[in-house]
Structure 1
Amino acid sequence: MRKLLNTLYVTTPESYLSRDGDNVVVSVENQEKFRIPIHNLEGVVCFGYMGASPHLMQLCSEHHVGLSFLTPSGRFQARVHGKIRGNVLLRRVQYRIADNEHDSLEIAKSCIIGKIVNCKSVLGRSVRDHEGVVNAKKIRDVDLLLIDALQRVDTCESLDSLRGIEGNCAKWYFDVFDELILKQKNDFFFYERNRRPPLDNMNSILSFLYTLLAHDVESALETVGLDPYVGFFHTDRPGRPGLALDVMEELRPFLADRLALNLVNLQQISGKDFLKKENGGVFITDEGRKTILSAWQKRKTDQITHPYLKEKIPVGLLPYVQALLLARFVRGDIDGYPPFFMN
């Protein structure tokens, strides 16, 4: 099992990353602010435009440490890759599956079943814990729609049909997402999913967490030797990590949506942690990002029992476990890809 290491989040926009021996050094205005040995890291995520030295990029490549660059507001810009890792035979099988709609459909169905079941779990937990506060009937009506969608996923015969089902499920789920926001309703509300840029505080949190999750999933897929850019559900598009987005579908409700709701409902974050721009876009302040990143890192250390492996693992290893299970299926070691179902 992969050891759960740290991800270094560099949030000061003026930061520049360099290498000193086997250490990652963070400097601001030519003054060293922080350093950490590369062997303590599994990833580096930079929020800003100053960048990193080629020598530092080489260090990350040599130690298989993912290096991603985001804008100060958290929008993904680029990811530095080293030498391609993994068994070339595994990737060749992956490409053949991706070129065959019937084979792709079976994996895509598993991912979407995982997503729908986990969305149902998020909604169901809210009703169980807060039935006297939330609109339970409205949420249960959506739950019935999701149950019907699960049956249609099982019998659908094309990827386009599956994409239609998934799109409807996402709409129904987000139609009642505002019901799950119990505190700070003046600052946090949810009318629809919007992005690029997000237009309200809650969408801003979700977009930020989805970006963090995408980094972890992409790193996990590379670790097990799969190509994160060739997916089975998401169509190929230059620069889009299709397979990472596929695997993310089942993990979003558990890792991102629940954390976003907890941050707001437990009042760990507030309206002052957001800024609204002239174009209507809402961005998270430096302090807000630090709060979310701290909660994200803490969440990754929580222990769960994986429903397929029946083993206890840190939450942060979920992307790696699912990537490993997907690689085992592609190699033919198991009969199907088992999606993750949250408790």
Structure 2
Amino acid sequence: MTELLNTLYVQTPGASLHLDGDTVRIALPEPDSPRRTLPLLRLESIVVLGNVNVSGPLLARCAQDGRAVVWMSRGGRFLCRLAGPLRGNVLLRHAQHLAHADPATRLPIARACVAGKIQNSRQLVLKSARDATTSKDSLRAIAADLEASLAAAGTAADIEVLMGVEGAAARAYFEALALMIRKDTGLSFPGRIKRPPTDPVNALLSFLYGLVRSGVHGACEQVGLDPYVGFLHGIRPGKPALALDLMEEFRPAVADRLALTLINRRQVGPGDFETMEGGAVQLTEEGRKTVLTAWQHNRQKERPHAVLGRRVALGLLPFVQARLMARTLRQELPGYLPWTA
């Protein structure tokens, strides 16, 4: 099992990262800032948000070690990733490409990805219905709709029909998400709005989805899969279709659940967001710090994994699922089994 290492997140505008022996040295723009170093050995990856500089020697060392460096916008949009030489067996990628081209192989994998997302969405809605003081009946009705969508996903005749089922389930689920936010938080959810998000809740969701995507993308590459050849999402230049496929099951159970926790416990509120020119909303620097701290803590929590028969840290789940996908493509497993909370 891969060891769960740390991820270094740097978001201070004007900060710079440098190689200092076997450590990364963080230089902050403020005069007389204390010297800060971290051992590279304990870092799985480095994520920089916004105007942060990374030195050439540090990039070269990370590429040599296979340590990913990820660039994201301050709003959490994935920009690019440096990870060094490609890993994995070319035969695995060849099997992946053949599976994508064969509808009889592609459709069951795509169904499993959608089923994992719908099941985890349904579980989150049911949990909220049990804990809710209001809207219990509405949440239970939506959970019943999601159960029907789950059955429909298992019998979808082709990818187009399956995408329609997934879209209908997502609309129902986001209706439930609006009901799961406590009214005394000062925040509300108008429905999913992206590119760009124009309200705080959507800004938080987009930021967390960006973190999930970055982790899943890295897991695909580490296992040796091609992140750009998927089964549910179509192939398009620059679109990491497989990473998007595999992250579907993690959206509700990891990103949405954490967002609801942060909002309903008032760890983030209206003051943690700012409106940019043009109407886009994003987290403030202090808001991002709060979310990233919670994200790092959340990655260490363990959840049961039915296939492995034991508990696994959330931060390792993308690697586990990427390996299960690889085993499916090698025909070592009869089909892909998504992780369900």
| TM-score (normalizing by structure 2) | 0.95
- Alpha-carbon distance between aligned partners in 1 of 2:34 and 2:329, rounded to the nearest angstrom: 45
Greater shift in the superposed pair: 42-51 or 111-120: 42-51
Q: For residue 3 of structure 2, what is the aligned residue in structure 1?
A: 3
Give the aligned residue type for 1:169. Answer: A
- Please list, as runs of the form range in 1=range in 2, the aligned pairs for 1:156-235 lying within 5 A after superposition: 156-186=156-186, 188-235=187-234
Q: For residue 77 of structure 2, what is the aligned residue in structure 1?
A: 75
SS state of the match for residue 248, structure 2? helix
Report the CA distance shift for 1:172/1:209 in structure 2 as closer, same or farther (over 3 A): same
Q: For residue 254 of structure 1, what is the aligned residue in structure 2?
A: 253
Check conservation: 1:134, 1:180, Cα contact below 8 A: no
Q: 1:188-207: per-residue Cα shift (whole Å, max 9, x none)?
A: 11111011211111111110
What is the number of equivalent residue pairs in this alignment? Answer: 339
How far off is 1:150 after superposition?
1.5
- Alpha-carbon distance between aligned partners in 1 of 2:51 and 2:100, rounded to the nearest angstrom: 35
Q: 1:216-238: per-residue Cα shift (whole Å, max 9, x none)?
A: 11111111111111111111122
Over the aligned positions, Cα root-mean-square deviation in angstroms equals 1.5
- Alpha-carbon distance between aligned partners in 1 of 2:147 and 2:26, rounded to the nearest angstrom: 49
Report the CA distance shift for 1:137/1:41 in structure 2 as closer, same or farther (over 3 A): same
SS state of the match for residue 54, structure 2? coil
How far off is 1:145 after superposition?
1.6
How far off is 1:185 after superposition?
4.0
| TM-score (normalizing by structure 1) | 0.95
How far off is 1:176 after superposition?
2.1
1:120 is matched with which residue: 119, 122, 130?
Answer: 122
- Alpha-carbon distance between aligned partners in 1 of 2:134 and 2:210, rounded to the nearest angstrom: 29
Q: For residue 335 of structure 1, what is the aligned residue in structure 2?
A: 334
How far off is 1:49 after superposition?
2.9
Check conservation: 2:268, 2:287, Cα contact below 8 A: yes
SS state of the match for residue 61, structure 1? helix
Greater shift in the superposed pair: 54-63 or 115-124: 54-63
Give the aligned residue type for 2:211. Answer: L
How far off is 1:184 after superposition?
3.5
Q: 1:155-211: per-residue Cα shift (whole Å, max 9, x none)?
A: 11111111111111111110221110015443x111110112111111111101000
How far off is 1:334 after superposition?
1.1
SS state of the match for residue 269, structure 1? coil
SS state of the match for residue 176, structure 1? helix
Give the aligned residue type for 1:216. Answer: G
How far off is 1:32 after superposition?
7.3
Q: Does 1:143 align with 2:143?
A: yes
- Please list, as runs of the form range in 1=range in 2, the aligned pairs for 1:7-18 lying within 5 A after superposition: 7-18=7-18
Give the aligned residue type for 1:40. Answer: R
Report the CA distance shift for 1:121/1:321 in structure 2 as closer, same or farther (over 3 A): same
SS state of the match for residue 145, structure 2? helix
Give the aligned residue type for 2:72. Answer: L
Q: For residue 154 of structure 1, what is the aligned residue in structure 2?
A: 154
- Alpha-carbon distance between aligned partners in 2 of 1:73 and 1:83, rounded to the nearest angstrom: 29
- Alpha-carbon distance between aligned partners in 2 of 1:323 and 1:333, rounded to the nearest angstrom: 14
- Alpha-carbon distance between aligned partners in 1 of 2:207 and 2:35, rounded to the nearest angstrom: 25
Structure 2 segments unaligned to the other structure (5+ residues): none
- Alpha-carbon distance between aligned partners in 1 of 2:162 and 2:122, rounded to the nearest angstrom: 18
- Alpha-carbon distance between aligned partners in 2 of 1:12 and 1:238, rounded to the nearest angstrom: 32
- Alpha-carbon distance between aligned partners in 2 of 1:206 and 1:265, rounded to the nearest angstrom: 14
How far off is 1:21 after superposition?
2.5
Q: For residue 105 of structure 2, what is the aligned residue in structure 1?
A: 103
Check conservation: 2:197, 2:206, Cα contact below 8 A: yes
How far off is 1:258 after superposition?
0.5
Q: For residue 305 of structure 1, what is the aligned residue in structure 2?
A: 304
Report the CA distance shift for 1:79/1:316 in structure 2 as closer, same or farther (over 3 A): same
Give the aligned residue type for 2:256. Answer: D
Structure 1 segments unaligned to the other structure (5+ residues): none
Q: For residue 319 of structure 1, what is the aligned residue in structure 2?
A: 318
